[in-house]
Amino acid sequence: MGAKARFWRWRHNPLRRRSDVAEAWVVLTTAVLMAVGVPLAGALSAAGVGHALLSQRQNRHRTSAVLTEDAEHVVSGAYVLARATVRWTASNGTVRTAKTQVTSGSKAGTKTVIWTDGQGRLTDEPPTSGQAYAQSVLAGALAAGSVTVLLLGGREVLRLRLDRDRTAEWEREWAQIGPEWSKRRA
């Protein structure tokens, strides 16, 4: 009974309706798209994010900077950051200044490490290789999950539409046949 029951929509059967065949095709198409699309979306997304993060790691450089003002002293925890202005020399020789986070309570003239991009502009520290890997995996998982939700949601919308059409068809047929069944015999 397993194979017969599973593929009943594909057989020639007088009770088979167009909506049954349509639903079978929707199920088959969804299964194929999930088997191919979900892993592909996850892999492409993870590779894209991984490439972007690798590019960040390659284009950002550690640079030495000097505080031009005292950093605010923040009292809460052992290692707290505060904002202060720092000065550094870019790779093209220009002297630049900007506000960035430094250790709380640092005095003017203290050296600190900052991160700059290829043009010498201040930027955030790039993610470590472990952080980049984790972000890539998360992006892949989110993409795969999103594609799964879209495919299953689309299948459910089509199934509900087919059910509505089947119900309307049954009502039309019952309107024709029902009066004959309900006649009283003499």
Give the per-residue pLDDT at 11: 64
pLDDT, tens digit, 9 for 90 and up, residues 39-70:
999 999 999 999 999 998 888 999 999 988 88
Same-domain pairing of 87 and 116: yes
Same-domain pairing of 80 and 104: yes
Within a domain: 14: no
Q: Is the pTM of this model over 0.85?
A: no
Please tell me the distance from the alpha carbon of residue 147 to that of residue 47, in angstroms, as a whole number.
16
18-59 helix and 129-182 helix, angle to the nearest 10 degrees? 170
Same-domain pairing of 90 and 121: yes
pLDDT, tens digit, 9 for 90 and up, residues 110-158:
899 999 988 888 888 899 999 999 999 999 999 999 999 999 999 999 9
Within a domain: 84: yes
Within a domain: 178: no
Within a domain: 34: no
Within a domain: 183: no
Same-domain pairing of 81 and 112: yes
Can you read off the two tokens belonging to residue 176?
């024709």
Same-domain pairing of 131 and 95: no
* End-of-domain residue from the set 125, 143, 168: 125
End-to-end CA distance of the chain: 44
Percent of the chain with pLDDT over 90: 44
Same-domain pairing of 97 and 78: yes
Please tell me the distance from the alpha carbon of residue 24 to that of residue 13, in angstroms, as a whole number.
14
Same-domain pairing of 65 and 146: no
Within a domain: 108: yes
Query: Residue 103 belongs to what H/E stretch?
Result: strand 95-103
Within a domain: 170: no
- Provide the number of structural domains found in the chain: 2
Same-domain pairing of 65 and 151: no
Closest CA to 20 of 159, 173, 155: 159
Domain of 68 in residue numbering reads as: 61-125
Same-domain pairing of 87 and 47: no
Give the per-residue pLDDT at 1: 47
Within a domain: 23: no
Give the per-residue pLDDT at 8: 54
Same-domain pairing of 79 and 120: yes
Same-domain pairing of 70 and 120: yes
